[in-house]
Structure 1
Amino acid sequence: MSAGTTCPVDLSPGTESTRFNPVIEKYELALLMLLGFAGFSALIGIAYNSIRRYVFKDFHSLDVIFDAGGRVSLSLTAVTVTSQLLWPADFLQSPTMASKVGISGSLYYTLAIVLSVLVFAVLCIQLKTRAPGAKTFPQIAYARFGKNTHILFCVVALFTNMVIVANLILAGKAAIEVLSKDSSNEFTLMILAVLFGSYCMIGGLGTTFYISYFNTALIFITTSLFILKFTYLVEPEVEEVTSHKALHTAMSCLKGPDGNYENSFLTFRSESGIIYGIVTLFMTIAIVFCDQANWQSRIAAKPREGMLGFLIAAFLWYAIPTSISFVSSMTYKTMSFKNGTNLLTDEEIDEGYITPFVVQSLLGKEGCFVLLTLMTMTLMSTGSGEVMSVSSVLVYDIIKTHIDPFRPGAQPTDCVLCGKSKIPIAMDDVPRDPFPLAIVVI
């Protein structure tokens, strides 16, 4: 179909499943992920352990494993939160919404997540100031409301971690199957398990923070390469579907959904996009606030560094999924416009195959390696954070509180060290606190 076709054009849905042709060999994938990323991260973990053992002399401290000493800098907090907030779904599902709703779908999706992070940054500063000794957010529920509420919060925290890990596994499995040849489920799960637990099991949360520098840098580099190869440093055969003129012509001629202003894909006035953004906002708030990995990153820093780190992370995170989804979704729409019909079926679009399909079709094997690197960085950061969060809940909230406590029989209001009871006394001089409480030891 030529660009001069009468507008608007409503693309017919794809009827045949696209035959993806994976170009990465199985052994290349194993070498890149196991020896490249996981091996390098394990070396960083060993070096971190040596520093804590011989320089700081606190290697055997349990708290150092789960809060990295409690004095993490502003930059470490920002890059760690940025890398842990980037999920593979941000590169797979965000283009899906952009292809269905238009550019508003990707924008409102990103804004919803950024707003949830900003709200969390304001809330989590209370944790460090009101409960400086807490290592997990269920511990606060235990101190204030007792055993039954604490068990409920532990179940919610572990269930949230399970949902996030399941999301990572499904997204990672989809990306590996599309990009790599002959990747079985067992092979994929083994790769993901090594990526999730290789270095955090060696160096704890401290290694996760330092690896985040490496992950975040690679994410920004690969994202920049991705955009440059599609927009500026393009090959002649690729330019016909990625040039600014081709993208604008196709997106202007294609008929968008009925809720969009003038049925255009190039508008932010979209009913579907706004509704999707609101739903995403509430869903993300529920996940972010109940994810111990986010609280753990906050606990590891001082109040000022922690809050500013989350604010900077929201700013850094905003640029990545939006740019990826805009470029990949509009390029796919342009390719489909020239073909006269959607190149992917509705099921393949819903599974998030737009970005892998565009990269594989236009950039070849080199582009697949870039996308695989980008996906691996997101899997490593978020997966390791979930491993550490589950471990902290099991150690602090289940084992040390209910199974093998330091002082058996102690009540939540009893001092763990001396065993004496604490009396809550209301404080009238502390405004704006919905639960004013001061704890003094008798």
Structure 2
Amino acid sequence: MSLVRRILTLGNVTEGVSLLSQATGYGMVIGLSVIFAGIILLATRVQKLYLQEDSGKSEMFMVANRSVGTGLTASAVFSSWMWINETVFSSVMGYNYGIAGPFWFAAGCAFQIALMAVLGVLAKLRVPYAHTSLEIIQMRYGVWGHIVFAILNIINNVFGCASMILTGSQLIVGISGMHMVAATILLPFGVVLYTAVGGLKATFITDYLHTCIALILIIWFTVAVLVSDVVGGVHGLYDKVLAIEGAGQYHIVGNYKGSLLTFRSKGAFMFGVLHCFGNLSLMTMDTGFWQKSFASQVNSTVPSYNIASIAIFAVPWGLGTVFGLTARVIETLPIFPTYPHPFTAAQVGAGYVEPYTLYAILGTGGAVGMLLALFMSVTSTVSSSSIAVSSILSFDLYRTYINPKATDSQVVRISHYGVVFHGVFITGIALALSYGGANMTWLGYVQPIITSPAVFPTFFALMWTGQTTKAAVISPILGLATGIIIWLTTAKSIYGTISLDTTVKQAPALYGAIGSLFSPILYSLIVSYAKPKTFDWREFLRVDTLKDDDSSSDTDTTASPGTSTPVLGVLSSDDEKAGYKSPVTISTQCRSIKDLSLDELEHPFDKETVADLKVWLKIAWAFLIFVMAVTLLLWPVPLYRNYIFTRSFYTGWIVVAIFWQFLAVFAVIIYPIYDGWDAISKSAVGIYRSLSKRKIDGR
């Protein structure tokens, strides 16, 4: 195989075979970065000229003027949650555990988005002008709570984003033989360019493009591999899996009869629980997902997040099942890239299951498609994380502690610097993790322990009036310490030593994650009830919008004696479009918003809008309960028994999984075009008129 050659081990890049030339790898990564940067520059210009959306304003840069519709929000959430893990790691789970692995991966991705719909609509009710989740924390728990949660949020974003860059760069090296350092630096480079210029709305647009390309590629991968002559269709794959199991080639420890075709898999179940915990923290502690809910219109938050919750199930389930089983079937054949050597555990752990299988069946075209899908998944995550971290740096740190009277343009400028800083810093972290010996599997198991402690204290900030400031500050710190202690002591107790190999085992990681996630509930209850204090939700109405530079630079609204002035800012047409129905006015005596009594504070929404939000909140709760009941109980529990899938049951399983992929296309690709047709047509007409005018003027 002339295209196959060994690559040198660099950092922790697992020795493998390169499927493409280095020139192809460099060309695709650099070329795609330049193309997407150009698209966003053009889109930002169109938004400003024809849609009056100026990313140079902080409200636009951070929360897209709170005017993003259902379709585009659903697509953006789907894209931001479609991490490289959901394609690559789900295939690894399919390879390791068979049928059960990809399903548990999918189940661990869905309910968190539905939960975010609850939190998003609740935030619109209680903190209607919030920009970041940390702004809510600061208003309720003051400086110390704000600092603790800011650190935990940044750790979560850095950990999640760095793991995606690390995984992506290691896979690029494994596919093309690029230098590890070059791959790690170039992968986020283009994202930094377009995110710094376009802000949050830019990430919505690129997220949509990423979704279109990646989802179409995923369907092509799944169907093309399944119907190939090597696999022989749905029935062919089933028969070949039975054949290799009958020949005694594989026995999956912890699976019923060691079969790949059973849902009773101890390893898959433990992974599923750990995955649920990890994704819960990644969603809750990621300011980016909160900002997308703040950016959506009043009546769009719940339906958009719930659409994404349904659609995301399609990615890991169908893809991971087909690729995991196919890799088991063909890994001993001459067409497999590692032949005649066996597929090593290190190569599997590094995520090479999907790219090697693609190359074996589809050749160079499959490897190129894999590289393209990889770029889409990683850059979407990085863009969302960049906005989240830059917002923390500019709004939660700079505007809060360094320059409280910062003008709109100053905040945006710091946001730009924050995006660049985040890109440089996260690249360094990814390189450090790689040279330190981490890979995708280790990060996937360790992440829940590090990022989970503040999950429930964050929930309590919006849902429980009884959590005190001390409880909010102390409980996540103690929770983190608890999780780490349980993790390391369990690894030491079971395996006799603490190392990269033992800390990535399922039992220590799972027990550590449980301690890290749930112990803060106990700590918060104990500290809160030791000295009870009740919080009044009306305090959140003191959160204000940022003023443009042509208004007062001070964010606190003041007035002359006896005059009437808006408490929460003057509403623009964009505010009204976002659902803010009418400006709220109140008589003040030269006082800022912070000086007003609770009885003087009023909600910016009218009664009808508030009533609508309360209905949406009930719908969001009902949908969350439904999703959790179906994906975590009603569907998997009856299957967790001594049963090997029959041919007909397996056929239905695969067919439904593939159908779900096409359903996702309608939900997050086609529907956003229909939903946003007014803006699309308005932009098209504006461009046409501008070109026509230039043509006439040129004559």
Coarse TM-score class (shorter-chain normalised): 0.7 to 0.9
Higher relative contact order (CA 8 A, sep 6+): 1
**2:484 corresponds to 1:310:** no
Moved more, 296-305 or 79-88: 296-305
Give, in whole Å, the separation in 2 of the partners of 1:43 and 1:414.
Answer: 36
Q: Which amino acid aligns with 2:345?
A: D
SS state at 1:352 partner: coil
Post-superposition Cα deviations, 1:348-398, rounded to whole Å, max 9, x if no partner, equal 211211112212222221110011111111012111011111111111100
**1:79 alignment partner, one of 69, 75, 81:** 75
CA displacement at 1:321 relative to structure 2: 1.7
1:359 matched to which residue of 2?
A: 358
Worse overlay, 336-345 or 111-120: 336-345
Describe the SS at the equivalent of 1:423: coil
Unaligned runs of 5+ in 2: 1-12, 407-538, 545-555, 559-591, 602-609, 615-699
Determine the structure 1 residue equivalent to 2:198: 203
Match of 1:46 among 6, 17, 41: 41
- Secondary structure of 2:597's aligned partner: strand
- 1:91: how far off? 2.1
Match of 1:285 in 2: 280
AA partner of residue 257 (structure 2): E
| C-alpha deviation, 1:186, in angstroms | 2.8
- Corresponding position of 1:122: 118
Q: What's the TM-score once normalised by structure 2's chain length?
A: 0.54
Instruction: Name which of 223, 229, 235 aligns with 2:224.
Output: 229
The one-character-per-residue Cα deviations of 1:96-145 (angstroms, maximum 9, x if unpaired) are 22222221111112101212222222222111221111110010011111
User: What is the rounded CA distance, in whole Å, between the counterparts of 2:595 and 2:257 in structure 1?
Assistant: 68
Deviations 1:153-187 (A, max 9, x none): 11111111110121111111111011113x11231
Over alpha carbons, which structure has the higher Rg?
2
CA contact (8 A) 1:71 1:301 kept: yes
CA contact (8 A) 1:38 1:199 kept: no
Deviation at 1:231, TM superposition (A): 1.7
Instruction: Give the Cα separation in 1 of the matches to 2:378 and 2:30.
Output: 13
What is residue 163 of structure 2 aligned with on the other side?
167
* 1:230 CA displacement: 0.9
Pick which of 248-257 and 167-176 moved more: 248-257
Q: Does 1:158 align with 2:332?
A: no
Q: Given the superposition, is the C-alpha separation of residues 242 and 169 from structure 1 closer, same or farther in structure 2, using an over 3 Å criterion?
A: farther
Separation (CA, whole Å) in 2 of partners of 1:299 and 1:370 = 34
Query: Are residues 263 and 57 of structure 1, via their aligned partners in 2, closer, same or farther at CA, if it must alter by over 3 Å?
Result: closer
Q: What is the one-letter code of the residue matched to 2:69?
A: S
1:393 maps to 2:392? yes
**Distance apart, 1:240 and its partner CA:** 10
- Indicate how the Cα distance of structure 1 residues 30 and 263 shifts in structure 2: closer, same or farther if over 3 A, else same: closer
Matched length:
407
After the TM superposition, which residues 54-203 of structure 1 pair with which residues of structure 2 at under 5 Å, given as runs? 54-57=49-52, 59=54, 60-181=56-177, 183-203=178-198
CA 1:152–1:23 in 2, change beyond 3 Å: closer, same or farther? same
2:106/2:315 contact within 8 Å kept: no
Sort the Cα spacing of 1:275 and 1:402 in 2 relative to 1 into closer, same or farther, 3 A: same
Amino acid at match of 2:25: L
Unaligned runs of 5+ in 1: 1-16, 434-442
- 1:423 aligned residue (586, 594, 597): 597
Residue 299 of structure 2: SS of its match in structure 1? helix
Partners of 1:201 and 1:278 in 2: CA distance: 37
Q: Which residue pairs with 2:329 in the alignment?
A: 334
What SS is found at the alignment partner of 2:20? Answer: coil
**Cα 1:325–1:62, aligned 2, differ >3 Å: closer, same or farther?**
same
Whether the aligned pair in 2 keeps the contact of 1:95 and 1:328 (CA below 8 Å) is: yes
How far the C-alpha of 1:211 sits from its partner, in A, is: 1.6
Of 223, 234, 243, 2:236 maps to 243
Identity %: 23
CA contact 1:251–1:265 (8 Å) conserved in 2: no
1:267 aligns with 2:262: yes
State which drifts further: 336-345 or 250-259: 336-345
Instruction: Report if the CA contact (8 A) 1:138-1:150 is conserved.
Output: yes
One-letter amino acid matched to 1:309 = S
CA 1:310 to 1:250, structure 2 compared with 1: closer, same or farther past 3 Å?
farther
Over 3 Å counting, the alpha-carbon distance change for 1:258 and 1:245 in structure 2 is closer
